[in-house]
Amino acid sequence: MKAFVHEYGELKVKDVQDPVAGRGEVVVHLHVAGLNRRDVGLPNRRGRTEDTLVLGSDGAGVIASVGDGVTRVKVGDDVIINPSLRWEENSDAPPKEFDILGMPDHGTFAEKIVLSAAQVEKKPEHLTWEEAGVLALSALTGYRALFTKGQVKEGDTVFIPGAGSGVATYLIQFAKNIGAKVIVTSRNVEKQRQAKELGADIILDTASDWTKELVNETVDLVIDSVGQATFNRSLEVLKKGGRIVIFGATTDDTVDFNLRQFFYGQYQLFGSTMGSRQELIAMLEHIENFKTHPVVDQTFSLDEAAKAFEYLQEGKQFGKIAVRMN
Ligand SMILES: NC(=O)c1ccc[n+]([C@@H]2O[C@H](COP(=O)([O-])OP(=O)(O)OC[C@H]3O[C@@H](n4cnc5c(N)ncnc54)[C@H](OP(=O)(O)O)[C@@H]3O)[C@@H](O)[C@H]2O)c1
């Protein structure tokens, strides 16, 4: 089968062996895989290693074969892949056996993938293959950050810097679904327009003076994954005692912040990452109930996967990038 792999420091499309389902496993014939920032960062982390790795965490397709003992799905079922490995029940942090699909295990940029039958869920019927293929990792991350850690509720005001990020598009949709007010920022005028169209209530230019612009707003919750470029400014717009949830640091991991202002403000800072299978199921129920459609910016073919990586690195996308297998 054809796969997009990393080996000897290079990214390329290559023929690799078809996977076979062992006991408790399924082979999924993938229609679409979804690109995440993690995929773009992994080649650097792996360096020039000779081991071939199929990249990719997100995907959706049809069950092609099942191994002995599999009863929860059958050949022909339409499924999405849960990239959060071995994290079943909701918990404050993932268990030590947790990993993300796509390293060290082979990922989804391939015509087929083999994985435990516990890692697939029924594809929501209202989604296209593209929408289903880009859903799981970002939507699960956004769901846990917003609901489990952020404890958002109807009538709250949520502030999200970096509106165009894949996760941010889900955050906007989920928060609006439950009746929260959403404030976003973006550096790009076109992304500001798209955020408005998606339902954001207030859209700020990232370069503007946020405290001045939001003088009449009470921000209950900040969800920031931009990192160093926005962390302190995000904290400035948060109400005293409010929550700030971090699950990424696109610009830089390290920030200086004023501890005295932080403890006097009685702010609450939460780290979050991905989510459990229990949260994935809750997220799928949420998008079914609200008939939410993921925002797909562009679709590339598997042969053009390297172009999809370049496109994500350019940062022009609003929402998710899909890779079609056929
Ligand atoms: N922990 C987890 O489980 C998990 C899961 C998913 C993602 N993540 C992380 O979360 C982050 C978001 O991921 P993503 O793929 O959804 O989005 P992304 O493509 O990393 O988007 C980043 C956003 O940050 C904004 N941004 C970038 N540079 C900026 C700068 N210098 N100043 C201000 N804003 C800037 C951009 O907003 P505008 O272009 O709109 O201005 C862009 O939309 C990444 O760091 C990713 O690694 C973590």
Ligand 1 within 6 A of CB of 148: no
Ligand 1 within 6 A of CB of 42: no
pTM metric for this prediction: 0.97
Mutate to test the pocket of ligand 1, among 184, 250, 311 (most ligand atoms within 8 A of CB): 250
Q: Rounded to the nearest 5 degrees, what angle is found at the Cα of 97, between the Cα atoms of 96 and 103?
A: 115
- Please tell me the distance from the alpha carbon of residue 31 to that of residue 78, in angstroms, as a whole number: 10
Atom of ligand 1 nearest to the CA of 187: 41
Mean pLDDT on 133-145 = 98
What sign does the CA torsion over 122, 59, 35, 31 have? negative
Q: What is the pLDDT of residues 164-198, one digit of tens each?
A: 899 999 999 999 999 999 999 999 999 999 999 99
- Read off the pLDDT band of 13 (50, 70, 90): very high
Phi, psi of 280 (to 5 degrees): -60, -45
pLDDT at 12 over 90: yes
What is the Cα 168 distance to its own chain's centre? 9
Q: What is the pLDDT of residues 271-284, one digit of tens each?
A: 999 999 999 999 99
Residue extents of the structural domains in the chain? 2-135+294-324, 140-271
Assigned CATH topology for domain 140-271: Rossmann fold (3.40.50)
**Reported CATH class of domain 2-135+294-324:** alpha beta
Ligand 1 within 6 A of CB of 196: no
Query: Between β-strands 219-224 and 25-35, what pairing exists: parallel, antiparallel or unpaired?
Result: unpaired
Query: Between β-strands 238-246 and 53-54, what pairing exists: parallel, antiparallel or unpaired?
Result: unpaired
Strand, coil or helix: 108: coil
pLDDT at 326 over 90: no
pLDDT at 79 over 90: yes
The answer to whether 64 and 28 are in contact (CB under 8 A) is: yes
- Which tokens belong to 219? 């921000």
Residue 50, pLDDT score = 85
Q: Do domains 2-135+294-324 and 140-271 have the same CATH topology?
A: no
Phi, psi of 6 (to 5 degrees): -115, 125
